[in-house]
Structure formats: structure tokens, C-alpha cells
């Protein structure tokens, strides 16, 4: 049985999947490479401190990561600018009345950005929650403290176009509102009613781009006559002055502090209508009610303001030139390697706007896949996070994104990637080990999560080494696919739950009618499973079909 390309367009975080087991010779080569990297770094630089064994994260056994992916929260979002750290340190030395601080910062943010008002929240998602509460309550504290019980509320519905449903709209649903999904502008017109509190969209959804039939301009044009606010989630975008989405008709625009703006990781920036943002501040900590759990400190509030002040003064063209220079350094180091295609892509959209080096190759010729490159970079020292894919057209690639790299790290990245692709590899075996078992039928699963056990089932159809079937979870079912090689079983399934995606990746050992192993749950970490073949037979009964309609009910 020949190996097939089972991964199509796999978007891979390097911290997912199984760890590659390096051979002793490889480890020796890598250590020698790491020593060589240290020698070319400037002492005392950020890159030199990253490599140092005295790095603060290594003191607790945690290996730091060079971020060549972008502003992903799972690896820390972004690096705070020096002005932000200085402002946060200054704010830590005095007490202040928080409402007065919020008013002062709100006005300062308005002056800096051209928006009517500004507010700092405990992250962008918390800001979405507070704004939803504001649109539901209108600043009425009696309503606020009843959330999420919206019984008797005038405003208790939020409209979200289907294309904008996503994992972050949990923040909106946490208020207890009814979500109304629409697919077209006509459906939006019909959905707006006296109970509509707000419309929510994501700025990254191409359907909302200017000129599209369901653009932000169209949505705001429909909403405005009904006095329905429009909230735009622009979390990872560059800040535009004045904010472009407000100019296009949005009521409020929400940014993450810990992404492109490089403010505090646990801060969000809300800009727009003052009356709504005042109500949103009322709905957040330090005030009691449903937002008390999203506490933002004075340090983060001042730090977020400092980040916007710094953003206004930054030489963004110089940053872009610097990032291109780093990619040029990496490209020159990799250019001698036969079989690599190197392409610099200068992104134009506001979301994660940074130049990117795309490194692509034919995995059949270089005998390594994108998944394997990302795993090796992400698992071994010095660790580097990249975005990698393997497609069904015979190309593998990974991207090196510069926006959150530090001076000197381009040298580390260049050497690590060069070493990986310079290593000689033999072609992988074209055949799999013969399946040691027949898995056809139903399997009853016990899944041990961190603090509970669930009963799932798998209905498996086996074709040689290849598996397919149905995975039944606690609440729904979905398709399963995988392989069996000898007595080792690898299966995966994916579930779509509202705006979320949940994947199960099984790795187990088959022993007769028993199976056991681990489940990788993506961002939700891991679980363990045991499975037993269900040998219960369905009773055999003849089916009698009536000759016509029943004579009695």
C-alpha cells in the first residue's frame, strides 16, 4: 500500500502533533549548530539573551520561542514596546480612582485617534463582552446586575452574519443574548426589530470589505435608521488614524492591545461612540456585575494608552524596511540550497500586516514535509514557531513572519532552517506495515479528560491500511479518517460547534478487541482513551412493508 497525502492545506501550529524523535547524530549536529549561532550574535542583544541558559523561562524548565508566526495569543501575542513597559512601571507606583482614570484615558485616546471616545478593557474579547452588555442595558445598572437573565429586557438579540460566526463570539453570547444569524442584506433588514441590541462582524471577513454586497457600509446603512449599533472586531489589525472602520460606518471598533499595537497582552482598545463606551465601562471591573471577572489594572490601562501614543509616533516605514532586511538575510542564507523556492510576500491587508518569506519545496524530492519542518523547528532548541502547510498538489511550505521578531533573531532563524534543509535524508518507505487487525465495526470509547470521563463511539470501516467512519461524541457525530500500520492506529475527526472547531487526533495501540492511547485536542491539550469492540449483534428481523395506506392509525 503506497502512502497517500492525507493532509490537504494543513494549517499547523508547531506545538500540535507528535514530537519528532531526533537521532543522536542529529542532536550532536544541532548542539554544534547552536554553539555556532551563539558565536555570531552580539553579546547582550535580545537574540543573545534568548539563547542564554539564564533566560528567565528556562529557570522553570520552559523553553522560550522565536515568533515567526504572528500575533497568536498561545505564544504570547506581541512584544510590548519599551514605552509601554515604562508607562506600566510608572503606573504601578501610585493609587488612583479608576473611574477618573478611565475618563482621562478615554479623552486622551479620543484625541490621539480621532474617535469620539476610547476605553481600555482586559483584552479584546472582554471588550466585546462589555460592549454587548452596554447595548443590552443602555447603562441601566438594574439591568446590568441581572445579566445573563434577560427576562423582560427590551434589547436581548444580537445579529451576526453567518460568515462572522467565530470562536470569539462566546464573549457576546456570555451576556445571555439570542444570536440571530443572517446570510444576506435582505435577511438583515428582516431580522432587525425592537429587540435588536447590536450587530457584530469581524473586519477580516472578506464579505464585509468595501464594494461587496454585504459590506460594512451596507450593514451600517441598514442599521443606522433603526439606531442599531454596529460593532467591528478588528483584533489583530494595524490601528488606522482615524479608525477606518468608524469612517465606514461602524459604531465601535475593537482592537487587541497584545497584537499589532504591541501594548499589554491583557488589554483591549475600544474606540467609537462615547455613550456606549461609557456604558461598557460601567459593565466592566472595577464595577460589580457580569464584567467583574474581566478586571483590567491601572498598569494595563496606562500601558494601552502609551501603546497608542507610541503607535502615533512610530516610523512604520522604517519598521517595514527593517523586516524586509531580516527576510533578505534569511533568503541569502537559504539560497544555496537546491530545491527551495523563496518568495517575499508584502501583505497589504491590515490584519497581521507584515512582510513574509514563503519557503516552499517538493517534499518528494527533499524527503521532508512542511509538518515535519514545523515540528522540528518548534520542538528543538532554539525553538521557532512557523506556519506550515502540506497540500495535495505536491508542495510543502512554511512562512517566516517578521512582525514580532527581534534584532538578531533573523540570524538564528537563518541558521536553524539552513541546517535542517542541508541535512541529507533518504526517501521515506513507500509502503506501510501490514495492518495487524481488522477494525471493522463499532468501538465503545471511554475518554479520560482532565477531570471527567465521557463515553463516545467509533464506527469503523477498514480498507487495508486506511480507516474511515463516524465518531459519535457527547453531543454530535462527525466523519473520522485514519490509518492502521501494524498494531498502531492513527485517527482524526473534526466537529463544528457554532463558531468553534474541535478536533480529535487519536494515536493508539490495538490489542485484539481492545484499543488504547492518547487524544490530541488541539488548543484544548490532551486526553486518554480506551476502546472496546462492541460485539453485540443486532437482532435479525424480517421487514414487512404494507401494501398501501394503513387501515387504522
* Domains of the chain (ranges, CATH numbers): 24-29+37-70+316-422 (3.90.1150.180), 82-313 (3.40.640.10), 441-533 (2.40.128.120)
Span 199-212, average pLDDT: 96
Confidence tier at 550 by pLDDT (50, 70, 90): confident
Spell out where 429-476 has E strands: 441-448, 453-463, 466-472
Residue with cell 467512519: 469
Confidence tier at 393 by pLDDT (50, 70, 90): confident
Cell (9 digits) for 302: 496606562
* pLDDT (tens digit per residue) in 5-44: 333 333 344 443 333 334 444 545 555 566 666 666 777 6
Written as one string, the DSSP assignment of 474-504 is: SS-EEEEEEEEETTEEEEEEEEEETTEEEEE
Supply the DSSP symbol for 100.
H
Confidence tier at 368 by pLDDT (50, 70, 90): very high
Give the separation between CA 160 and CA 201, rounded to whole angstroms: 6
CA angle 317, 320, 325 (to 5 degrees): 130
Torsion of CA 470, 468, 388, 12, to 10 degrees: 30
Confidence tier at 209 by pLDDT (50, 70, 90): very high
Give the three-class secondary structure for 255. strand
Per-residue confidence (pLDDT) for residue 537, from 0 to 100: 84
Q: Is the dihedral of CA 371, 397, 57, 521 positive or negative?
A: negative
Residues shown for the chain: 553
Question: Is the pLDDT reported for residue 426 higher than 80?
Answer: yes
Span 100-116, average pLDDT: 98
Residue pair 200/245 in contact (Cβ under 8 Å)? The answer is no
Per-residue confidence (pLDDT) for residue 551, from 0 to 100: 84
User: Which of 13-22, 65-74, 455-464 has the weakest average pLDDT?
Assistant: 13-22
Span 95-115, average pLDDT: 98
Per-residue confidence (pLDDT) for residue 7, from 0 to 100: 35
- Nearest residue to 208 (alpha-carbon basis) of 277, 271, 162, 273: 162
Span 468-494, average pLDDT: 97
476 vs 1: which has the higher pLDDT: 476
Per-residue confidence (pLDDT) for residue 394, from 0 to 100: 87
Per-residue confidence (pLDDT) for residue 9, from 0 to 100: 35
C-alpha 220: how far from chain center: 28
pTM of the model: 0.89
Written as one string, the DSSP assignment of 506-552 is: EEEEEETTEEEEEEE-GGG-EEEEEEEE--PPPPP-PPPPPSSS-S-
Dihedral pair phi/psi, residue 494, rounded to 5°: -140, 135
Span 416-443, average pLDDT: 93
Cell (9 digits) for 485: 500500520
Q: Residue 281 is inside which H or E element, if any?
A: helix 274-282
Span 291-309, average pLDDT: 97
Q: Residue 110 is inside which H or E element, if any?
A: helix 98-113
Per-residue confidence (pLDDT) for residue 49, from 0 to 100: 83
Q: Residue 310 is inside which H or E element, if any?
A: helix 298-313
Question: Is the pLDDT reported for residue 84 higher than 90?
Answer: yes
Span 246-260, average pLDDT: 97
Give percent of the chain with pLDDT exceeding 90. Answer: 85
Span 504-524, average pLDDT: 97
* pLDDT (tens digit per residue) in 305-340: 999 999 999 999 999 999 999 999 999 999 999 999
Beta strand pairing status for 157-161 and 178-182? Answer: parallel
Amino acid at each position: 500500500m503506497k502512502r497517500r497525502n492525507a493532509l490537504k492545506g494543513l494549517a499547523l501550529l508547531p506545538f500540535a502533533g507528535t514530537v519528532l524523535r531526533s537521532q543522536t547524530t542529529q542532536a550532536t549536529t544541532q548542539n554544534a549548530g547552536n554553539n555556532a549561532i551563539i558565536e555570531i550574535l552580539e553579546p547582550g542583544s535580545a537574540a543573545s539573551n534568548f539563547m542564554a541558559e539564564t533566560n528567565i523561562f528556562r529557570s522553570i524548565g520552559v523553553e522560550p520561542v522565536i515568533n515567526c508566526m504572528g500575533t497568536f495569543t498561545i505564544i504570547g501575542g506581541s512584544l510590548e514596546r519599551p514605552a509601554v513597559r515604562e508607562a506600566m512601571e510608572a503606573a504601578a507606583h501610585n493609587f488612583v480612582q479608576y473611574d477618573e482614570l478611565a475618563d482621562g484615558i478615554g479623552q486622551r485616546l479620543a484625541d490621539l485617534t480621532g474617535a469620539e471616545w476610547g476605553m481600555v478593557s482586559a483584552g479584546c474579547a472582554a471588550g466585546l463582552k462589555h460592549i454587548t452588555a452596554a447595548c443590552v442595558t443602555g447603562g441601566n445598572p438594574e439591568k446590568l446586575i441581572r445579566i445573563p437573565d434577560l427576562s423582560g429586557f427590551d434589547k436581548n438579540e444580537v445579529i451576526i452574519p453567518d460568515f462572522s460566526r467565530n470562536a470569539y463570539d462566546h464573549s457576546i453570547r456570555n451576556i445571555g443574548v439570542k444570536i440571530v444569524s443572517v446570510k444576506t442584506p435582505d435577511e438583515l433588514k428582516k431580522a432587525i426589530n425592537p429587540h435588536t441590541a447590536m450587530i457584530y462582524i469581524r473586519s477580516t471577513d472578506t464579505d464585509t470589505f468595501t464594494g461587496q454586497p454585504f459590506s460594512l457600509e451596507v450593514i451600517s446603512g441598514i442599521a443606522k435608521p433603526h439606531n442599531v449599533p454596529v460593532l467591528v472586531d478588528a483584533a489583530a489589525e494595524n490601528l488606522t488614524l482615524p479608525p477606518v472602520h468608524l469612517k465606514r460606518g461602524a459604531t465601535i471598533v475593537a482592537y487587541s492591545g497584545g497584537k499589532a499595537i504591541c501594548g499589554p497582552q491583557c488589554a483591549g482598545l475600544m474606540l467609537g461612540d462615547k455613550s456606549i463606551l461609557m456604558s461598557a465601562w460601567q459593565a466592566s471591573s472595577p464595577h460589580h456585575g457580569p464584567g467583574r471577572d474581566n478586571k483590567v489594572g491601572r498598569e494595563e490601562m496606562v500601558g494601552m494608552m502609551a501603546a497608542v501614543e507610541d503607535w502615533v509616533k512610530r516610523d512604520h516605514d522604517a519598521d517595514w524596511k527593517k523586516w524586509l532586511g531580516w527576510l533578505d538575510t534569511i533568503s541569502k542564507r537559504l539560497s544555496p540550497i537546491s530545491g527551495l523556492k523563496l518568495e517575499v510576500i508584502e501583505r497589504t491587508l491590515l490584519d497581521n500586516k507584515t512582510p513574509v518569506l514563503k519557503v516552499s519545496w517538493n517534499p518528494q524530492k527533499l524527503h521532508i514535509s512542511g509538518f515535519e519542518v514545523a515540528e522540528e523547528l518548534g520542538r528543538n532548541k532554539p525553538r521557532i514557531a512557523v506556519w506550515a502547510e502540506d497540500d495535495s498538489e505536491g508542495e510543502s511550505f512554511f512562512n517566516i513572519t517578521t512582525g514580532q521578531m527581534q534584532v538578531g533573531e533573523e540570524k538564528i532563524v537563518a541558521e536553524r532552517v539552513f541546517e535542517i534543509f542541508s541535512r541529507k535524508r533518504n526517501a521515506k518507505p513507500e509502503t506501510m506495515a501490514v495492518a495487524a487487525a481488522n477494525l471493522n465495526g463499532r468501538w465503545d470509547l471511554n475518554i479520560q479528560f482532565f477531570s471527567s470521563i465521557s463515553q463516545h463511539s467509533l464506527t469503523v470501516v477498514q480498507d487495508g491500511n486506511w480507516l474511515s467512519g463516524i465518531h459519535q461524541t457527547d453531543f454530535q457525530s462527525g466523519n473520522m479518517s485514519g490509518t492502521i500500520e501494524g498494531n498502531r492506529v492513527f485517527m482524526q475527526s473534526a466537529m463544528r460547534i457554532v463558531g468553534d472547531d474541535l478536533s480529535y487526533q487519536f494515536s493508539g495501540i490495538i490489542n485484539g478487541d481492545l484499543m488504547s492511547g492518547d487524544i490530541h485536542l488541539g488548543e484544548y491539550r490532551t486526553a486518554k482513551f480506551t476502546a472496546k469492540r462492541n460485539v453485540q449483534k443486532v437482532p435479525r428481523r424480517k421487514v414487512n412493508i404494507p401494501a398501501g395506506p394503513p387501515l387504522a392509525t
